[in-house]
């Protein structure tokens, strides 16, 4: 297996638990990339931006993916017990807030589609929004409440999966960058900065870096990296019990257990054109904070502590790629869950392990085959 983010650590755990001899190769340390740099939102609804921008047909095609997120949240609920680590999961509900009637009408259609797919989200009019979230600005006209959403702590989850995988017998090799992959008569040979590894099966779940790895086998996957940034404030008194989104601009806002507010929503970071280094986009920080203040005015009293950057894994249709590619490389499994991959980590672990073991997964994965491109 290649990739020690949440998808890889969860897959290694499921494989080792099933008694499969498992080696996980990670170029740095575990959970140091997107899985450690994300904002910790637990998503279970159709995201408003692609719903608005890609249109109804996209939403209908994407909607069955809600089942995957719901199943993932169900696994999250038991992780404290299963992994023996409190991952700070709190499902206080997700609140998508609208500032005008046009947004609210779109949200109404989105809620209906989510309900069709088993998510008990509700449309809120102005009065219902006030009752649920008195902290939201007066100008907001309504919204959506999605009960299965919330947050968890990214710094705890991936290491917890990895430790459980090691306890179950998986071998995790850190600082092992895969630099070449070749097919052998009975599987694969991987060249890494820490030696060569052979295996009859190979799972590539390296987040935004999955495409260059697949290319080593002559396979093109449309997986992209999107540099993004997240802001964190000093700890403040309990203020926001929900995961708050805004239909009028990019925003996710939630409060960590220790009291810090995490403010993001997919604001791009800057890539230095010469060195390729990621840097914080200060203009984006100001705009992101202004959006947060507009939706929840009390946020303005909290002081910003830090902004950090990470590379998110994207796919053009924002739909997962989860597939066994036996037809092009027998024994190869690939997996990436774009943009919402922290929430989806636990279900990715189950699905990728099933595919690697040749077991029938409990969901129809045909919509997630890369042949759709
Ligand atoms: C700023 C930001 C905020 C986000 N917020 C949220 C959120 O609130 N909620 C949510 O659900 N999702 C969020 N996401 C998305 C989520 O973090 C990712 O979708 C998820 O972490 C992907 O997990 P992964 O295991 O697939 O990939 P990663 O975490 O990227 O892990 C892949 C691993 O593969 C390793 N690797 C790559 N190439 C090689 C190689 N050649 N050899 C060996 N190892 C290699 C990398 O070092 C890395 O550790 C956010 C992402 C970012 C960047």
Q: What percent of the chain has pLDDT over 70?
A: 100
The pLDDT tens digits for 207-242 are 999 999 999 999 999 999 999 999 999 999 999 999
Three-state secondary-structure class, residue 228: strand
Residue 273 pLDDT exceeds 90: no
Phi, psi of 281 (to 5 degrees): -95, 105
Residue 200 lies in a domain: yes
Residues 121 and 269 in one domain: yes
Q: What is the pLDDT of residue 78?
A: 98
Site to probe by mutation for ligand 1, drawn from 207, 333, 343 as the one with most ligand atoms within 8 Å of Cβ, is 207
Residue 169 lies in a domain: yes
pTM of the full predicted structure? 0.98
Residues 141 and 168 in one domain: no
For residue 8 and ligand 1, the question of a CB distance below 6 A is answered with yes
Site to probe by mutation for ligand 1, drawn from 32, 342, 353 as the one with most ligand atoms within 8 Å of Cβ, is 342
Chain centre to alpha carbon of residue 272 = 25
Distance 313 CA to ligand 1 centre (A): 6
Q: How far, CA to CA in Å, does 266 sit from each of 85, 215, 245, 284, 345?
A: 28, 27, 11, 10, 18
The pLDDT tens digits for 166-205 are 999 999 999 999 999 999 999 999 999 999 999 999 999 9
| Domain region containing 136 | 92-150+225-314
Last residue of one domain, picked from the residues 274, 293, 314: 314
Contact between 31 and 155 under an 8 Å Cβ cutoff? The reply is yes
Residues 354 and 241 in one domain: no
| Mean pLDDT, the chain, whole residue set | 98
Residue 75 lies in a domain: no
Surface-to-core class of residue 224, CB atoms within 10 Å of its CB (0-12 exposed, 13-18 middle, 19+ buried): middle
- In the chain, how many domains are there? 2
CATH number at residue 112: 3.30.9.10
Distance 42 CA to ligand 1 centre (A): 15
Residues 212 and 137 in one domain: no
Q: What is the pLDDT of residue 239?
A: 97
Residues 234 and 253 in one domain: yes
Residues 208 and 304 in one domain: no
Distance 134 CA to ligand 1 centre (A): 34
Residue 85 lies in a domain: no
For residues 322-348, average pLDDT? 98
Residues 122 and 179 in one domain: no
For residue 311 and ligand 1, the question of a CB distance below 6 A is answered with yes
Last residue of one domain, picked from the residues 314, 335, 357: 314
Residues 237 and 141 in one domain: yes
Residue 52 lies in a domain: no
Tokens of 154: 């990214």
């Amino acid at each position: 297996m290649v990739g020690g983010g949440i998808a890889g650590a969860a897959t290694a755990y499921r494989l080792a638990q099933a008694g499969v001899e498992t080696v996980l190769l990670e170029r740095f340390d575990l959970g140091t990339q997107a899985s450690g740099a994300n904002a910790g939102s637990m998503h279970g609804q159709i995201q408003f931006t692609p719903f608005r921008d890609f249109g109804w047909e996209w939403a209908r095609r994407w909607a069955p993916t809600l089942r995957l997120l719901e199943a993932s949240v169900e696994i999250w609920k038991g992780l404290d017990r299963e992994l023996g680590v409190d991952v700070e999961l709190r499902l206080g509900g997700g609140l998508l807030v609208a500032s005008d009637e046009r947004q609210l009408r779109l949200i109404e259609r989105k809620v209906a589609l989510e309900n069709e797919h088993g998510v008990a989200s509700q449309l809120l009019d102005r009065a219902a929004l006030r009752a649920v979230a008195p902290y939201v600005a007066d100008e907001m006209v309504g919204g959506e409440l999605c009960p299965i959403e919330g947050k968890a702590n990214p710094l705890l989850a991936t290491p917890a999966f990895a430790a459980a995988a090691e306890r179950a017998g998986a071998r995790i090799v850190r600082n092992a960058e895969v630099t070449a992959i070749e097919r052998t008569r009975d599987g694969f040979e991987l060249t890494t900065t820490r030696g060569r590894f052979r295996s009859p099966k190979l799972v590539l779940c390296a987040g935004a870096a999955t495409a260059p790895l697949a290319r080593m086998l002559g396979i093109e996957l449309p997986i992209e990296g999107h540099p993004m940034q997240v802001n964190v404030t000093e700890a403040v008194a309990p203020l926001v019990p929900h995961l708050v989104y805004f239909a009028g601009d990019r925003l996710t806002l939630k409060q960590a257990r220790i009291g810090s507010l995490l403010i993001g929503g997919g604001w791009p970071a800057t890539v230095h054109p010469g060195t390729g280094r990621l840097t914080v986009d200060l203009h984006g920080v100001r705009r992101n904070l202004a959006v947060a203040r507009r939706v929840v005015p009390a946020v303005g009293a909290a002081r910003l502590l830090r902004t950090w950057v990470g590379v998110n894994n994207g796919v053009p249709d924002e739909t997962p790629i989860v597939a066994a590619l036996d037809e092009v490389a027998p024994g190869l499994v690939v997996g990436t869950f774009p943009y919402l991959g922290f929430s989806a980590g636990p279900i990715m672990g189950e699905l990728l392990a099933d595919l690697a073991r040749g077991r029938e997964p409990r969901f129809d994965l045909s919509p997630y085959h890369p042949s759709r491109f």
